Amino acid sequence: MAFSSPTTDTLTGVLERIIFLNEETHFTIAEFRPEGRDEKVTITGPLPGAQCGETLHLRGTWTRHAQHGEQFKVESFKAELPSSVYGIRKYLGSGLVPGIGKVYANKIVDAFGTDTFRVLSEESARLRGVPGIGKVRAAAIKQAWDDQRALREIHIFLQTYGVTTAQCVKLVRRYGHEARQILLSEPYRVAREIDGIGFKTADKIAINLGYANDAAPRIDAGLLFSMETLQEEGHTALREADLAAHATQLLETSHDRVVARIAALVEQKQLIAHAPGVENPLPGSALIQLPHNDRAEQKIASAIVRLTKVASGLPPIKTDAAVVWAEQKAGFEFAEQQRAALRHALLSKVSILTGGPGTGKTTILRALVEILRAKKVRVHLAAPTGRAAQRLAETTGGFASTIHRLLKYDPARGGFTANDSAPLATDFLVVDEASMLDTRLAAALFQAIPSRAHLLLVGDTDQLPSVGAGNVLKDIIASATATDATLSLPVTRLNVIYRQKGQSQIVTTAHAINGGDPSLPPSTPDLHSIQAWSDLTFVIADSAEDCLAKTIALCTEFVPKHYPWFDPKRDVQVLAPMHKGVAGVGNFNQQLQAALNPRGKSVRGPGGEFRAGDKVIQLRNNYDKNLFNGDIGSIKEVSPEDATITADFDGEISTFDRGELSDLALAYAISIHKSQGSEYPVVIVPLLKAHFMMLQRNLLYTAITRGKKKVFLVGEPAAYAMAVRNSESKLRTTHLRAKIAALA
């Protein structure tokens, strides 16, 4: 199955009519009359500052819309002022210049013809000779004309330096008429201040402007970019030598010069340096951090130590008696590990519970919540994602919320309402899926816990680490379990499988993966040979195309036939290791949409078409809508006329306009990373050797443990073995453990 990209084309002509314009993104749908053609064509894309009557030179691709036919999708453009009387009249009459509507446009053009623009720019006093235009109106027209011309010049200037149309919009929106001067004098500033304009774009502009390869502003910007790049890989700190090496390669400049600029940035406090530890005193081993990561880790460490050193606010609880009471309510005796976990949670201000699937974490949480309720303790349950919070509520019988909702984000202030000055009104906080806590979220959460409250962190350290930077749960565990640990913080590790008496193939396979056993679980190359009663099956596929076909067949045929109580759209989730390729997230979504939801009105967004009934995922936090990265919902309505969609996210109904469609993507298939904290009735995991860059033990383990009832692995047995054997997930460099040790 081959996929070819559309051929780039060019088009020149006159902008006739703007049908739709998003003021925020400048996304435009317009009628366009190409040179040499009588008929108009529809063009779509960002056209900032473009006005009716202008001659546009477009670059883009031809596409075909299911309802509206052939369209030209604009990637970039250049505009010229119209030179004909017809174009000038259309241009001025478009409402571009305040004070000039169609009536006055006709009067001005009747008076000056093709000389109109020169008169507006150089001889604006002559406007007063036009009937109906007095001194005040003439001055206003002149000012509006000058403002518009300046804006056009900025766009033209920026585009000559390779700045894209979308980036132009962001620059002009931020800096206005000063955009040109700021870019000329401080090109690297825009990389720090403008989202979507990174170091590489700013560096390209700076080099074109004549900046030297080893100029201090260039190296400083490169160092900060290196820190931010490596932060995206999960690091909150870097060895000085590693930072210097990364920046030297990036900038292709002198290593000594880079080292000198690191020292300068540390002195300016744009970087924070921590002296080499006793265990690693070598030159270059100092840890370097961005200030916000240093502050976040300091807040986490301070909060944990504060909690451990303040007396409990819980009412008196006879711990052993409470455990026996919980066992009687449950109807069975707990294992000693489970009893220990309950005792630790009740007696210690901060405790950790970790273990894989089926080891009894749910049993402990349910018992703990029942004990605390019986004692009238204010207990709060939270998790990083909506799905994880929902699951926590179901398993404990209590109310659970996402951490963001618990802390009550205030968009106006740009921060959380609950904080160290206004702590949560709680006596006991349980945080599930704590392995997903990144440094910034953990800092905000831990600060908001009152000093007399208890904190229980629950998580599986063998899963993928947090999407954001940091290694919070593992660092805290390491601080508590080190041989020289001074932190009083019990850690309970559950390692005995209780679920279904160990008979669940999902559970046993997950633990086998964790133990490094590459033996293939029950497998078959034929869908008809699958044992429907089994909860995990490996379906052998001999190619990416075969993997795609069998995955679609599982969704559309096998699951509906054998498990009719599962909805293929709602209950089946494909989890792919990679985004691109035949067996990647993108193609799976296209193919599954075509198979499961092929018809109906649609609205096109940056990531494809959306139809009523489609499953979608939120791609970024949107506090105004109370939606967060990773939330999955279903589209209820689409309105092609005004390009809006309405979606239901677990009862949260939200409407998205065209400018917000980039926040959504189809979710028939999602990445394994996006699935963290969620569980699905049926999980299908494509697994191919072509995914080798992502084939890691913790990735496969995470994918399998997302399945509640059924898991299907579809792919090559060799890929499964590769993933199990690859236990070397990228180590994250942090400074949290050292900070905790220094305070404990």
Query: Is residue 627 a contact partner of residue 621, using CB atoms and an 8 Å limit?
Result: yes
Q: How far is CA 341 from CA 12, 434, 458, 492, 530, in A?
A: 71, 16, 11, 6, 39
Q: How far is CA 86 from CA 89, 95, 96, in A?
A: 5, 15, 16
- Residue 598 pLDDT: 86
With 90 as the cut, is the pLDDT of residue 163 above it?
no
At 180, is the pLDDT very low, low, confident or very high (cuts 50, 70, 90)? confident
* Residue 583 CB partners (closer than 8 Å, separation 6+): 544, 547, 548, 551, 576, 686, 688, 690, 691, 715
Query: Is residue 46 a contact partner of residue 29, using CB atoms and an 8 Å limit?
Result: no
Rounded-to-integer distance, Cα 329 and Cα 485, Å: 37
- Residue 6 pLDDT: 65
With 90 as the cut, is the pLDDT of residue 127 above it?
no
- Residue 97 pLDDT: 65
With 80 as the cut, is the pLDDT of residue 730 above it?
no
**Across the chain, what does the average pLDDT equal?**
86
Query: Is residue 227 a contact partner of residue 290, using CB atoms and an 8 Å limit?
Result: yes
At 164, is the pLDDT very low, low, confident or very high (cuts 50, 70, 90)? low
- Specify the range with the lowest mean pLDDT, choosing from 107-111, 354-358, 418-422, 691-695: 691-695
pLDDT mean over 108-122:
87
Residue 194, phi-psi category: left (phi > 0), alpha (psi -120 to 50), beta (remainder): beta
Rounded-to-integer distance, Cα 227 and Cα 253, Å: 17
At 3, is the pLDDT very low, low, confident or very high (cuts 50, 70, 90)? very low
Rounded-to-integer distance, Cα 507 and Cα 613, Å: 33
Rounded-to-integer distance, Cα 468 and Cα 437, Å: 8
pLDDT mean over 615-628:
84
Rounded-to-integer distance, Cα 493 and Cα 352, Å: 8
- Residue 182 pLDDT: 83
With 80 as the cut, is the pLDDT of residue 278 above it?
no
Q: In this predicted model, what pLDDT tens digit does every residue of 588-606 receive, in sequence order?
A: 999 999 999 988 888 877 7
Q: In this predicted model, what pLDDT tens digit does every residue of 368-378 receive, in sequence order?
A: 999 999 999 99
- pTM score, two decimals? 0.76
With 90 as the cut, is the pLDDT of residue 577 above it?
no
Q: In this predicted model, what pLDDT tens digit does every residue of 497-532 receive, in sequence order?
A: 765 544 688 888 988 998 899 999 999 999 988 888
With 90 as the cut, is the pLDDT of residue 293 above it?
yes
Burial degree of 673 (CB within 10 A; 0-12, 13-18, 19+): middle
Tokens 């919980």 locate to 326
- Residue 25 pLDDT: 67
Widest pairwise Cα distance in the chain: 98
Helix (H) or strand (E) holding 185: helix 179-185
- Residue 361 pLDDT: 87
pLDDT mean over 552-574:
93
Query: Is residue 657 a contact partner of residue 643, using CB atoms and an 8 Å limit?
Result: yes
- Specify the range with the lowest mean pLDDT, choosing from 256-265, 276-285, 524-533, 657-666: 276-285
Which of 376 and 676 is assigned the larger pLDDT? 376
Which of 12 and 163 is assigned the larger pLDDT? 12
